[in-house]
Chain A
Amino acid sequence: MTEISAANTAPPKPRTARLRRWFHRRGWADLTIATPYVWLTIFFLLPFMIVTAMSFASRTPTSPPFSFGVDGSFLNFENFARLLEDDLYRRAFLISIRNAALATLLCLLIGYPMALGLTRVSRSARNVLLMLVILPFWTSFLLRVYAWMGLMGTNSWFNRLLTSIYNGLVPDDWAIRSIQMMHTNFAVVLVTVYSYLPFMILPLYANLEKLDLTLDEAAMDLGSRPFRVFLDVTLPLSIPGIIAGAMLVFIPACGELIIPGLVGNPSQPMIGRVISDEFASARDWPMASAVSVALLFLMVGPMMLYTHFEAKAQEKKAMEP
């Protein structure tokens, strides 16, 4: 009996004890930080650094198809030079930016009044409507694009409806048989708006919902009509929401691969197509990398800087009395 209890109360082996003490004091915190840190470094940062490095390499007929320092200098800027010279890339960038900007603007024009409308309905209706905004987001992205392919085809009821509306409005000799919607930039913009509209509505709604309605009343009390109240109070105070929504739409829309691939004009490729073509068809890894790096610097870079400074400004604001 005494032997057993002695065995039970005997201190655990020194090493496991030390390990346990370490874990309880500092270790659990260190592990909590280090595990995701290491993971992201290996699977996100490292690949990205490889791509950045590769944008300065040269294409060679080896496997893997690249090497450094082919023509003497270790860093090869030729890829970036080609980026500026070759019309293909410039055009792809312009088309991407134009399509994405147009889609962002349309999302804002539709999404803003929708978000504002959501803040003005009763609470129970609001919950249902918010769920209806989020619902398409949960269904497959691919299938949402596909749904529009069904609508835009020349035989579809939607196309025929639009065609007959058009024919009814214009003189007879302007009449057309169907509207060419598929494989146009219009289709890309339309489907992008459709796919990304929830990303515009949700941050805007979150922002507008928090606005103090007594500010509206104060403006009205000081003589402003409802639209003036909107311009003077609601709009300026919702700028953070507008920016958040615009970023959530613009950035993925710029690099979009699926939408232009399915409904876009194949002769007017967007930048995502160019990157994947350079990589897969042309097997020009360095060039694909250079285009990727350029895309990041041109579009994502400025926005990241903006958010960075915005966050700094917010922090500063919070520090003030």
Chain B
Amino acid sequence: MNRRPVFLMSVLAFGFAFFYVPILSMIVFSFNNARLATVWGGFSTKWYAKLFANDQVLDAAWLSVRIALTSATVATILGTMAGIALARFRRFRGRTFFSGLVTAPLIMPEVITGISTLIFFILISNLLEAAFGWKTQRGFTTITLAHITFSLTFVTAIIQSRLRDADIAVEEAAMDLGSRPWQVMKDITLPIISPAILSGWLLAFTISLDDVVITSFTTGPGSTTLPILIWSKVKLGVTPDINALATITVCVVGLGVIIAGILLNRAERRRDLDAQMAYRANE
């Protein structure tokens, strides 16, 4: 069809401008020499220097990374289990309820998840103190537990959709060739979904690294993650060092996504080419 969708292309252009102008503006102003973050006062990299000299920021970043690594790993294991259970075990008691339980955190407003988790942790902590005299404090553990719960549902969604697309005949073939169900899972199913497991982990990692609302409810004194630190600073207004921090984040993430995208794209093109060659060879 050779009609030119002028309207669609203009909206597309507008949309991408909308997406990227604020980010670009933020990056430009991170190199601003002036104290005011919104008025240009010459080029400078001093805010980056200031940022790296700030122990508070580095500590918060390190805590965030530790929480994200732990919670992403546990969430991936649990989420993969749940995804396999929902996609491959056709019937078990409470299946409908289970599938509801897995999707509920996805559509639950974060405030409610945050509040209910906090109340739960407070009550548990009171209970522990009353029963064993064990004084507990919210921090790394509570944040990590909350992040695992929240992000495992995203992993489940990814695994489930990958398994739904996968050809079940491959697993049946393995079973036909003498594998026990458990071996089929280990030898066939898990290798097939390993890319999905990886992307699930990455998603869980970024969700944890990025979370403000749930963390703000489950954190305790002395446990300041990077988003919580930014949140408390940003509440006071726009400052150039946050611009610098934002620029670093955008660059790191952007590079990661672009590299991943190029690799995926190349793999896809490779596959297409191979398929074409095979087709030609058969002709």
A and B touch in the complex (CB under 8 A): yes
Which residues does A use to contact B, with CB under 8 Å?
A: 23-24, 28-29, 31-33, 35-37, 39-41, 43-48, 50-51, 54, 63-64, 110-111, 113-114, 116-118, 120-121, 124, 127-129, 131-136, 138-151, 153, 155-158, 194, 197, 201, 213, 216-217, 226, 247, 251-252, 254-255, 257-258, 261-262, 272, 275-276, 279, 285, 288-289, 292, 295-296, 300, 303-304
Instruction: Give the distance in Å from the alpha carbon of A46 to the alpha carbon of B29 in the complex.
Output: 46
Instruction: Give the distance in Å from the alpha carbon of A46 to the alpha carbon of B119 in the complex.
Output: 11
Instruction: Give the distance in Å from the alpha carbon of A146 to the alpha carbon of B212 in the complex.
Output: 13
Instruction: Give the distance in Å from the alpha carbon of A156 to the alpha carbon of B25 in the complex.
Output: 10
Total cross-chain contacts (CB, 8 A): 251
Q: What residues of chain B lie closer than 8 Å to A129, measured between beta carbons?
A: 12, 16
Task: Please determine whether B112 and A32 come into contact, CB atoms closer than 8 angstroms.
Answer: no
- Secondary structure type dominating chain A contacts: helix
8 Å CB contact of B23 from A24, A40, A139: A139
Q: What residues of chain B lie closer than 8 Å to A131, measured between beta carbons?
A: 257-258, 261
Task: Please determine whether B19 and A118 come into contact, CB atoms closer than 8 angstroms.
Answer: no
Q: Which 10 A-B pairs have the closest CB atoms?
A: A255-B109, A47-B120, A117-B8, A36-B82, A147-B22, A113-B11, A47-B116, A117-B12, A43-B149, A51-B116
Q: Is B7 an interface residue (CB 8 A)?
A: yes
8 Å CB contact of B107 from A111, A143, A300: A300
Q: What residues of chain A lie closer than 8 Å to B123, measured between beta carbons?
A: 50, 64
Instruction: Give the distance in Å from the alpha carbon of A292 to the alpha carbon of B253 in the complex.
Output: 34
Q: What residues of chain B lie closer than 8 Å to A39, measured between beta carbons?
A: 78, 148-149, 152
Task: Please determine whether A32 and B249 come into contact, CB atoms closer than 8 angstroms.
Answer: no
Task: Please determine whether B15 and A114 come into contact, CB atoms closer than 8 angstroms.
Answer: yes
9-residue interface stretch from B133-141, B163-171, B231-239 = B231-239
Task: Please determine whether A117 and B11 come into contact, CB atoms closer than 8 angstroms.
Answer: yes
Q: Is B60 an interface residue (CB 8 A)?
A: no
Q: What residues of chain B lie closer than 8 Å to A145, measured between beta carbons?
A: 234
Task: Please determine whether A139 and B85 come into contact, CB atoms closer than 8 angstroms.
Answer: no
9-residue interface stretch from B31-39, B49-57, B275-283 = B31-39
Q: Is B208 an interface residue (CB 8 A)?
A: no
Task: Please determine whether A33 and B36 come into contact, CB atoms closer than 8 angstroms.
Answer: no
Task: Please determine whether A45 and B101 come into contact, CB atoms closer than 8 angstroms.
Answer: yes
Q: Is B219 an interface residue (CB 8 A)?
A: no
The closest CB in chain A to the CB of B7 belongs to A113
Q: What residues of chain A lie closer than 8 Å to B25, measured between beta carbons?
A: 147, 150-151, 157-158
The closest CB in chain A to the CB of B180 belongs to A24
Q: What residues of chain A lie closer than 8 Å to B22, measured between beta carbons?
A: 144, 147-148, 150-151, 194
The closest CB in chain A to the CB of B101 belongs to A40
Task: Please determine whether B117 and A143 come into contact, CB atoms closer than 8 angstroms.
Answer: no
Task: Please determine whether B152 and A47 come into contact, CB atoms closer than 8 angstroms.
Answer: no
The closest CB in chain A to the CB of B265 belongs to A127
Task: Please determine whether A116 and B29 come into contact, CB atoms closer than 8 angstroms.
Answer: no
Kindly provide the distance from the CB of A173 to the nearest chain B CB, expressed in whole angstroms.
28
Instruction: Give the distance in Å from the alpha carbon of A201 to the alpha carbon of B254 in the complex.
Output: 19
Task: Please determine whether B23 and A110 come into contact, CB atoms closer than 8 angstroms.
Answer: no
Q: What residues of chain A lie closer than 8 Å to B7, measured between beta carbons?
A: 113
Instruction: Give the distance in Å from the alpha carbon of A267 to the alpha carbon of B229 in the complex.
Output: 25
Kindly provide the distance from the CB of A213 to the nearest chain B CB, expressed in whole angstroms.
8
Task: Please determine whether B235 and A48 come into contact, CB atoms closer than 8 angstroms.
Answer: no
Q: Is B115 an interface residue (CB 8 A)?
A: yes
Q: What residues of chain A lie closer than 8 Å to B132, measured between beta carbons?
A: none
8 contacts between A and B (CB under 8 A): A29-B181, A37-B101, A46-B120, A117-B11, A124-B265, A147-B22, A151-B21, A275-B115
The closest CB in chain B to the CB of A141 belongs to B210
Task: Please determine whether A110 and B38 come into contact, CB atoms closer than 8 angstroms.
Answer: no
